[in-house]
Amino acid sequence: DQQVKQNSPSLSVQEGRISILNCDYTNSMFDYFLWYKKYPAEGPTFLISISSIKDKNEDGRFTVFLNKSAKHLSLHIVPSQPGDSAVYFCAARDGGGSEKLVFGKGTKLTVNP
């Protein structure tokens, strides 16, 4: 049973517009959430993270929002650039002391020039 769900397998946006990638989770013990970006034939690259005690974290063009009551987080990219085209993975850590990450299936973002 998937504990981290990315229900949109793909998303297409125009350059300069906002990209919003969504992620839902079921395990209320998750205490830390991350977004990774992955280009073809490369490994995932850390993008941004957020602790469960916060509801927002911002780093340049990237902002992650966390809604604990809804068990939902989202990644906003503003403005989107063609180089942002990649697969984005949402991941979460079980707060029970484990260091392992639970990943979603990923959303493929395409930013059109």
* Binding site residues, another protein, CB under 8 A: 2, 4, 32, 36, 41-46, 49, 89, 91, 93, 98-106
Burial of 48 (0-12, 13-18, 19+ CB in 10 A): middle
CB of 72 to another protein, least distance (A): 18
In the bound state with another protein, the residue whose beta carbon lies nearer, of 44 and 84, is: 44
CB of 90 to another protein, least distance (A): 10
In the bound state with another protein, the residue whose beta carbon lies nearer, of 43 and 60, is: 43
In the bound state with another protein, the residue whose beta carbon lies nearer, of 73 and 91, is: 91
Q: Which of 55, 29, 28, 42 is nearest to 89 (CA)?
A: 42
Cα(16)–Cα(11) distance, integer angstroms: 15
CB of 97 to another protein, least distance (A): 10
Strands 107-112 and 10-14: parallel
